[in-house]
Homo-oligomer: A and B are copies of this chain.
């Protein structure tokens, strides 16, 4: 495994949920960011015993005021110089507003410093999935009024529909949703993290079927669709098709977001270095330091497939696929072992509820023993034109 982190020193403020056990929210995002070399401030918006997919949990949420207090605590000790902010689950509209104020304040602070640096806000608008809202209804307008302050948003298909007001059912409506997010909301970068639009295409069977290297079962194809806007807010959309495993995993969105922070910064640094090298060769003006450009927006002549966003998403999906594959591979054995242990301890078989809980646990993403999948993934699924 490479000893060198993929990014230069990067100070990240991560705002999301904390669970004692399991790997979702900040629990997975913070470790992912740290293991890729970032220094992370972790502002936990809730502290639950476990994620809500178990259908039962204990613990508490922080109020909007408590979130603001922690932020005031950071500021008063000069601990607020973040290069990147990553925001995930935030409990309630008032708390979304409170987090929004942190983002706006950080943006103003960077802008006051003038050129020579930039602040980047990755916002995962956690509201629901598969047509179901799992936050209060007033959270939707709270996010709508916030996203134009973010640099990159990571909605799933349902959240993209909520934000854009466009029902996504085919490639045309998908492009329209992205256009609305760029043009009306002025969001520079968008990645829709789980698009199940059949017309986007599917992977050849060989890539999705069981293979000696991938004994975990995959069942069909999903897409990630991303776009970085041009200076006149036109979309530059790309898609990446990837195979789906036959299991629901919690925390994938949080892991995706944390990896995007790292890989986007890595790609932007690489693009800036390439531009600087070209400038030296051609003695021309070049595209300057992308990392110091507001929102890290590439010049208009950069093609969709050459966007740092597309390159980042390819690496992120590669890591995701490897981690999901390893989690899938170990699930049945882990489940069987835990059932056996319980049977030995209690002298009885597991009832339906227990089986559900043990299965939910076996689907917790396995990261800590697979650092290599985070650091050195093998890109198999490439970006294509939409």
Contact = CB atoms under 8 A, between A and B. Distances in A.
Interface in A14-44: 18, 20-22, 27, 30-31, 33-35, 37-44
A70 B59 contact: yes
Given A40-B368, A44-B47, A74 B5 contact: no
Contact of A31 (B31, B112, B360): B31
A57 B73 contact: yes
A37 B70 contact: no
A27 B39 CA distance: 11
A354 B77 CA distance: 8
Nearest to A72: B58
Contacts of A372: 3
B354 A78 contact: yes
Nearest to A22: B79
The winner among A31, A39, A48, A109 for most chain B CB atoms within 10 A is A39
A24 to B, nearest CB: 13
A109 B345 CA distance: 9
Contacts of A41: 20-22
Interface in A162-190: none
Nearest to A40: B368
A89 B358 CA distance: 31
Contacts of A66: 59-60
A54 interface: yes
A285 interface: no
Interface in A79-119: 79, 81, 109, 112-113
25 contacts: A1-B1, A18-B18, A20-B41, A20-B43, A21-B74, A33-B368, A35-B35, A35-B371, A40-B368, A47-B70, A49-B73, A50-B73, A57-B73, A57-B77, A58-B72, A59-B69, A60-B66, A77-B357, A77-B360, A78-B342, A78-B357, A81-B338, A81-B341, A113-B341, A113-B345
